[in-house]
A and B are shown apart, each in its own frame.
Chain A
Amino acid sequence: MSKHILVVGGGLAGTMVANGLCRRLGNELRAGQVQITLLGTSDRHLYQPALLFVPFGLAGEENLFRSQRQVLDRRVVFHVDPARQIEAVTKKVTTEAGRVFDYDYLILATGSRLMPETVPGMVEGAHWFYDLAGARKLRSALQAFTGGRIVVNINVPHKCPVAPLEMTLMLHDYLTKRGLIDRTTLTYTYPIGRLHALEPVAHWCKPVLEQRGIQSETFFNTEWIDPVNQRITSMEGVTLDYDLLITIPPHAGMEVVSTSNLGRGGWATTDPKTLLHTVHKEIFVIGDTTNIPISKAGSTAHFETETVIANITALIQEGCWSHDYDGKVFCFLETGMEEGTYTWFNYVTPPRLGPPSQMIHWFRLAYNRLYWLSVKGLL
């Protein structure tokens, strides 16, 4: 009997896994023994890391999107029809349009969403760049900026651990180039007692921020924002005045995950090694939507998809498990407008950071283009 693999979510993880499975299960697809369906929310695929460049006018918006149908292997049956309810016991997914899909394997890849509305005053008083509307609004605010107090404020949980620091360093370069840095105070706030979750990044960036005159506040978790008087106050009791507030709003997982009882806050409870849902063993969970305590990043999603592709292929072709996920994460870090570095780690290997170089910066820029090959499964 034909096996149905249903992928929910057409972002980085969902698209990569669907394409990878097509490559590995070509014979089974041809013979009608396997069918792959993907449910998404949009017919456009967004390359999120490029949003970092939008506020500085460095990314043409035409480069941010591709047609979702074109990035998907033609053998994937694709519907723009989000999942509304997942009934894990009966292995059925009901969509917004009322379709019902049965599955043998479900791959949950619904990512995360920004929740500025959970912090009083954040929607009214803050800018962000983690979605396109926010990045465009911040671009206008930066263009109009003539000096003053900028606060870059980071909240948890959030995806891409390095983007907030990159924004801060790039902002410093941008303001220097525009001749505004002497008229600006730049403050970076971070939720824990050091400047970055990754210890080597925290060590590296401390003197870097100091050299550039960027002030910092650690143990800063936003309690509320007063948009009228332009003040941000932390749960720890510190208040900062601002003229321009750039925030990373706290994230949550998707509603369909919590309403389907697959995990609190929309984070699906996931075994860190098998990537199976902790209760429902026909559900694989990948990307930002897992509750695994590792970085929510595209590279995490990428390495997770490799594990899931291998395991589903092995289960279908040989009835056995292939291998577990080792927790690998890789991050580029833009250290300014012209230099970059990178780090990687997994569950047992701690992160290290190499010296920043222009070459790594260029490689990162090249990767912005290579992404489209990577998500197609060609890289």
Chain B
Amino acid sequence: MSERKVVDARDSFCPGPLMELIANIRLIEVGSELELLSKDKGSAEEVPAWLTKVGHQHISTEKRGDHWSIVVKRVK
């Protein structure tokens, strides 16, 4: 498996974590994982909801101090 790409969107008010995820997921290969870092509670909930809608996989969400780490897998 290729190295996991990390998208650090902790200081991103615009475009924000989910937009960063949408833009970056197309830059990784199918089957690879991406870790999104976000300080925004809203995206910790919104990201899994979006992944379900479009059919990518939500691997995990973990609270780490002041931010969340959300790991996703590109499925298609």
Contact = CB atoms under 8 A, between A and B. Distances in A.
Contacts of A327: 11
B54 A221 contact: yes
A350 B16 CA distance: 12
A284 B20 CA distance: 22
B15 A161 contact: yes
B14 A294 contact: yes
Nearest to B12: A293
Nearest to B38: A293
Contact of A192 (B13, B19, B26, B54): B19
Nearest to A118: B26
A60 interface: no
A117 to B, nearest CB: 14
Nearest to A235: B54
A347 B51 CA distance: 27
Contacts of A293: 7-9, 11-12, 15, 17, 20
A295 interface: yes
A295 B11 contact: no
Nearest to A345: B13
* Interface magnitude class on chain A: 20 to 34
A197 B43 CA distance: 12
Contact of A236 (B9, B46, B54): B54
Nearest to A296: B15
B42 to A, nearest CB: 8
B54 A264 contact: no
Nearest to B13: A345
Interface string B15-27: 1111110110011
A134 interface: no
Given A219-B50, A235-B54, A236-B53, A294 B12 contact: yes
B35 to A, nearest CB: 13
How would you classify the secondary structure of chain A's contact residues: helix, strand, loop or mixed?
A: loop
A142 interface: no
Contact of A345 (B14, B15, B26): B14
A42 B22 CA distance: 32
B59 interface: no
A217 to B, nearest CB: 12
Contacts of B7: 293
A156 interface: yes
Contacts of B54: 221, 235-236
Nearest to B55: A235
A191 B19 contact: yes
A319 interface: no
Nearest to A331: B14
A235 B54 CA distance: 6
B75 to A, nearest CB: 12
A264 B27 contact: yes
Interface in A104-162: 156-157, 161
B30 interface: no
Which residue, of A199, A293, A329, A345, has the highest number of chain B Cβ atoms within 10 A?
Answer: A293
Nearest to A236: B53
A197 B49 CA distance: 17
Interface in A155-204: 156-157, 161, 191-193, 197-199
Nearest to A347: B11
The list of the 7 closest CB pairs from A to B, nearest first, reads A293-B12, A157-B23, A347-B11, A197-B15, A236-B53, A235-B54, A293-B9
Given A221-B22, A295-B14, 11 more contacts: A156-B22, A161-B14, A219-B53, A236-B50, A250-B23, A264-B27, A293-B7, A293-B17, A294-B13, A294-B15, A351-B13
29 contacts: A156-B15, A156-B19, A156-B23, A157-B19, A161-B15, A192-B19, A192-B46, A193-B50, A198-B14, A221-B54, A235-B53, A235-B54, A236-B50, A236-B53, A250-B23, A272-B11, A293-B11, A293-B12, A293-B17, A294-B11, A294-B12, A294-B14, A295-B14, A295-B15, A327-B11, A345-B13, A350-B13, A351-B13, A351-B14
